[in-house]
Amino acid sequence: MDTRPTEFEAALTIFFMVKTSPEWLGFTFETRLAHARETFQPILDDFKDRVRLKWYDVEFYTAKISDIWMIESKDHHSYQLFCEKLRETPFWDRFFLVHDIFPGELNAWAKNYEVEALRS
- Is 6 within the bounds of a domain? no
For residue 4, is pLDDT > 80? no
Q: State how many domains the chain has.
A: 1
- Is 85 within the bounds of a domain? yes
- Is 92 within the bounds of a domain? yes
**Residues 68-77: pLDDT tens digits?**
999 999 999 9
Measured CA to CA, the distance from residue 59 to residue 78 in angstroms comes to: 29
- Is 7 within the bounds of a domain? no
- Is 119 within the bounds of a domain? no
Domain residues for 64? Answer: 12-112
According to DSSP, the β-strands at 96-104 and 51-57 are unpaired
Measured CA to CA, the distance from residue 51 to residue 71 in angstroms comes to: 7
Tell me, what's the pLDDT at 6?
A: 64
The average confidence (pLDDT) of the chain is 94
Query: pTM for the full model?
Result: 0.88
Measured CA to CA, the distance from residue 104 to residue 120 in angstroms comes to: 19
- Is 75 within the bounds of a domain? yes
Confidence of residue 7 (pLDDT cuts 50, 70, 90): confident
CATH label of the domain that carries residue 102: 3.30.70.1030
* CB 95 within 8 Å of CB 23: yes
Confidence of residue 59 (pLDDT cuts 50, 70, 90): very high
Measured CA to CA, the distance from residue 112 to residue 76 in angstroms comes to: 18
Three-state DSSP class for residue 108: helix
